[in-house]
Amino acid sequence: MKTALRTCPLCETSCGLRLTLDDAGSVLRVEGDEDDPFSKGFLCPKGAALGQLDEDPDRLARPLVRVDGQLRPASWEEAFTEVHRGLGETMAAHGRNAVALYFGNPTFHTMAGFLYRQPLTQTLGSRNVYSASTIDQMPKHVASGLMFGDPMAVAVPDLDRTDFMLILGANPVESNGSLCVAPNFKGRLRALQERGGKVVVVDPRRTRTAELADEHLFIRPGTDAYLLFGIVHTLLAEGLTSLDVEITGLPELRSLALDFTPEVVERACGVPAATTVRLAREVAAAPSASVYARIGTCTAEFGSTAQWLVDVINALTGNLDRAGGVMFAKTAGLEIFRSGQPFATGAWHSRVRGLPEVLGEFPVATMADEIETPGDGQIRALLTVGGNPALSAPGAPRLARALSGLDFMVCVDPYLNETTRHANVILPPPRILQSPHFDFLVQIIMVRNYARFSPPVLPLGHDQRSEAAILAKLLLILSGQGPDVDPEVCEEMLLGQLLAAAPELRDGLDGADGTEHILDALLKLGSYGLSLEAMRQAPHGLDLGPLQPRLPEILCTASGKVDLAPAALAADVPRLLDRLRDPAPEMVLIGRRHLRSNNSWMHNVPSLVGGSNRCTLQIHPQDVARFGLGERARVRSAAGEVEVSVEATDTIMPGVVSLPHGWGHKDSGQAVARRNAGVNANALTDELVVDPVSGNAVFNGVPVRVLPV
């Protein structure tokens, strides 16, 4: 028996785990690491199932290559040779824009995903770059970029010190938190209440977070921007502001907010005018307050407006960049990536729908258009890394059909699933316990500065490649160096770029391989002067202290001030006003998350599926009666139709139905998932509707009809 410490890589929360393994390397027990200064022993059922996920018999052990229409096991040499042939032919015949990249959610967490994403993108030189960002948090980047200059400057609630928290469209008790990394979020909310603070949740469902809160408000899906504007209106009208950061745009903001009286807002979102006024007064009067809004507000038609107004309220009430308000974390290894240049979007536009590039990406919502529409720049080949867009993208069935028509597709993914089944080559990364872990990106969004490195628990087999080595090989192939070059060449190249300003560090770098060398370099260049050795000395993780005010270091707008009314966001306000004239749809669809699930890829672990984690349609009993529903219902939208089991519950607002995403596994290579297939919520979401400022997909507030079966 052996014990190993490591960070759980499954979600943003980054809990420290203590694993007990047998001699063969099988996980016997998973516990929360009590000595981790941040997670303090917390873990959720997914972390507890890490061993089963790690040893999932359906995980691919070898590459698969398509021969005569069939995916067959192949050697790494055969697989890379085929990638070289397929991508090479596409680039030679149709140019680089004909090859697209898609980076899925796990690439935000894996070391390889973080280290190779930018280099792969730059080396390919295609405009067709897509990622899970535009089906998730892109509105946050846009709002932060336009207000603070830096799209990665995400203001995080100072959860452990705040006195008042307004949560919109997030269910951290179930999701464990997003863009706000806080192990045991529930315990931290309870602590907030115990110190005399208040939690208010705005959600069309009475979620487990709403149940814990002091107050829960139902809101009509897709209308948070109105409520937030109503709060801004009240703060300005009643003189409840206490700005203590340098700002511009206050007169413009004042005139934009004028139309959004609490009465107008009530008609749009269903929150009583008196409640909006009271909320504004409570946020302003609290000793400290933080407004926090997530998926329910990001993946909505006015996502960027909502994210902007969240930080407008934080700023107006004096809660931006101060203890107990919202603050900016200081990362251990990322500060050198700050460009210092003011953020802008739309350096180029997509070919078919003319959508602006944001952070160098096009919206996932237009990927099918770019694959299907002939002409110069049409996508003919695709490389996905850790993504399952055939389930996760809006209008997913259309995208899945488009994938089947590609000339060539490569997937770096451990599973044969709804997306990878269309591939010509699947390159599987090793098991979780064979991979190192250092969560670079989540450092930006932690409620406390903290770092932890986990070296691989188990060695690689001779017939395995690390994910970094796989991505390095792909980079070398895309750069024209062919399939036979040693991936170490690539690691040296990355180190050379990183250390351009400090080449003297190269010789003293520590680490067992290129990935560790790069980590050592980033830590040494980073804000805390850490190193790989310092991380090894702190196997339970390193507490780097509470968040500190640091707005002046972050700000890089053209004015050097926080912009309360960026032109690109102000320009979208007339659309919000116009929408007031449209009648509200009779029924709308929203999503939901379950504690034992994570997007599309953990439905193959028996202990995580079944019970309450099922793909059902939640609907209010009044609506069940109104539509004469039995056990099953058909749900129809402009995009498609599904048939699904009905779950009547008064925890959801009348007029709203909820389906979880990530289901619809009937064509999966995962046996357990196939038996619990469920239906794909994204057969109903419409890829033609996006938040136009960020290009983000709309998963909440989708108009639907519900019909008896």
Ligand X SMILES: Nc1nc2c(c(=O)[nH]1)N[C@H]1C(S)=C(S)[C@@H](COP(=O)(O)OP(=O)(O)OC[C@H]3O[C@@H](n4cnc5c(=O)[nH]c(N)nc54)[C@H](O)[C@@H]3O)O[C@H]1N2
413 sits near Mo ion (criterion: CB under 5 A): no
- Residue 17 beta carbon to ligand SF4: minimum distance, rounded to whole angstroms: 7
Distances (CA, A) of 343 to 149, 307, 558: 5, 16, 9
Cβ closest to ligand SF4, residue 11 vs residue 152: 11
**Helix, strand or coil for residue 63?**
coil
Based on the number of CB atoms within 10 Å of its own CB, is 308 exposed (0-12), middle (13-18) or buried (19 or more)?
A: buried
Q: Which does 317 bind (CB under 5 to 8 A by kind): ligand SF4, Mo ion, ligand X, none?
A: none
The H-assigned helical ranges of 439-583 are 467-478, 488-498, 514-525, 532-536, 551-554, 567-570, 573-579
In one letter, which amino acid is 549? P
Q: Which does 595 bind (CB under 5 to 8 A by kind): Mo ion, ligand SF4, ligand X, none?
A: ligand X
Closest-by-Cβ residue to Mo ion is 136
- Residue 462 beta carbon to ligand X: minimum distance, rounded to whole angstroms: 20
Q: Please give the Cα distance from 686 to 395 (Å, whole number).
A: 5
Q: Which does 392 bind (CB under 5 to 8 A by kind): Mo ion, ligand X, ligand SF4, none?
A: ligand X
- Residue 545 beta carbon to ligand X: minimum distance, rounded to whole angstroms: 26
Based on the number of CB atoms within 10 Å of its own CB, is 444 exposed (0-12), middle (13-18) or buried (19 or more)?
A: middle
**Helix, strand or coil for residue 432?**
helix
Cα–Cα–Cα angle for 476, 482, 486, rounded to 5 degrees? 60
Q: Which does 414 bind (CB under 5 to 8 A by kind): Mo ion, ligand X, ligand SF4, none?
A: ligand X
Q: Which does 202 bind (CB under 5 to 8 A by kind): Mo ion, ligand X, ligand SF4, none?
A: ligand X
Phi, psi of 674 (to 5 degrees): -65, -35
- Residue 12 beta carbon to ligand SF4: minimum distance, rounded to whole angstroms: 7
In one letter, which amino acid is 661? H
Q: Which does 226 bind (CB under 5 to 8 A by kind): Mo ion, ligand X, ligand SF4, none?
A: none
Q: Which does 43 bind (CB under 5 to 8 A by kind): ligand SF4, ligand X, Mo ion, none?
A: ligand SF4
Contacts of 415 (CB under 8 A, 6+ apart): 58, 59, 60, 601, 604, 668, 669, 670
Cβ closest to ligand X, residue 414 vs residue 655: 414
Q: Cβ atoms within 10 A of the Cβ of 651, count?
A: 17
- Residue 432 beta carbon to ligand X: minimum distance, rounded to whole angstroms: 7
Q: Which does 104 bind (CB under 5 to 8 A by kind): ligand SF4, ligand X, Mo ion, none?
A: ligand X
Cα–Cα–Cα angle for 503, 509, 513, rounded to 5 degrees? 120
Distances (CA, A) of 599 to 410, 428, 696, 706: 21, 19, 17, 24
Cβ closest to ligand SF4, residue 18 vs residue 205: 18
Cβ closest to Mo ion, residue 137 vs residue 288: 137
301 sits near Mo ion (criterion: CB under 5 A): no
Q: Which does 8 bind (CB under 5 to 8 A by kind): Mo ion, ligand X, ligand SF4, none?
A: ligand SF4
Based on the number of CB atoms within 10 Å of its own CB, is 374 exposed (0-12), middle (13-18) or buried (19 or more)?
A: exposed
Cβ closest to ligand SF4, residue 8 vs residue 416: 8
Cβ closest to ligand X, residue 272 vs residue 318: 272
Using the structure block, give the residue that is written with the tokens 């890589």: 9
Per-residue burial over 230-239, b if 16 or more Cβ lie within 10 Å, else e, is bbbbbbbeee
Site for Mo ion in 99-138 (CB under 5 A): 136
- Residue 40 beta carbon to ligand X: minimum distance, rounded to whole angstroms: 19
- Residue 680 beta carbon to ligand X: minimum distance, rounded to whole angstroms: 8
The H-assigned helical ranges of 450-502 are 467-478, 488-498
Strands (E), 574-681: 588-590, 616-619, 632-637, 641-648, 656-658
Q: Give the interface with ligand X as residue ranges (CB under 6 A).
A: 11, 104-106, 110, 132, 135-136, 168-172, 174-176, 178, 202-205, 207, 219, 221-222, 224, 294-297, 299-300, 385-389, 392, 412-415, 417, 429, 467, 590-595, 597-601, 661-662, 681-682, 685, 699-701
Q: Which helix (H) or strand (E) holds 250?
A: helix 250-257
Q: Give the interface with ligand SF4 as residue ranges (CB under 6 A).
A: 8, 10-11, 13-15, 43-44, 46-47, 176
Q: Which does 47 bind (CB under 5 to 8 A by kind): ligand X, ligand SF4, Mo ion, none?
A: ligand SF4
Half-sphere exposure of 631 (CA within 13 A, CB side): 0
Closest-by-Cβ residue to ligand SF4 is 47
Q: Smallest Cα–Cα separation from 19: which of 433, 535, 597? A: 433
In one letter, which amino acid is 106? P
Q: Which does 357 bind (CB under 5 to 8 A by kind): Mo ion, ligand X, ligand SF4, none?
A: none
Cβ closest to ligand X, residue 140 vs residue 330: 140
Q: Which does 56 bind (CB under 5 to 8 A by kind): ligand SF4, Mo ion, ligand X, none?
A: none
Q: Which does 192 bind (CB under 5 to 8 A by kind): Mo ion, ligand SF4, ligand X, none?
A: none
The CA-based dihedral angle spanning residues 594, 596, 599, 602, taken in that order and rounded to the nearest 10 degrees = -160
- Residue 31 beta carbon to ligand SF4: minimum distance, rounded to whole angstroms: 11
- Residue 599 beta carbon to Mo ion: minimum distance, rounded to whole angstroms: 7
Angle between helices 273-285 and 224-237 (to 10 degrees): 60
- Residue 558 beta carbon to ligand X: minimum distance, rounded to whole angstroms: 31
Cβ closest to ligand X, residue 525 vs residue 690: 690
- Residue 13 beta carbon to ligand SF4: minimum distance, rounded to whole angstroms: 4
Cβ closest to ligand X, residue 434 vs residue 557: 434
- Residue 651 beta carbon to ligand X: minimum distance, rounded to whole angstroms: 10
Q: Please give the Cα distance from 426 to 418 (Å, whole number).
A: 13
Q: Which does 700 bind (CB under 5 to 8 A by kind): ligand X, Mo ion, ligand SF4, none?
A: ligand X
**Helix, strand or coil for residue 317?**
coil
- Residue 466 beta carbon to ligand SF4: minimum distance, rounded to whole angstroms: 21
- In the shown chain, the binding pattern of residues 136 to 155 toward Mo ion, with x for contact by CB under 5 A and - for none, equals x-------------------
The binding site for Mo ion (CB under 5 A) comprises 136
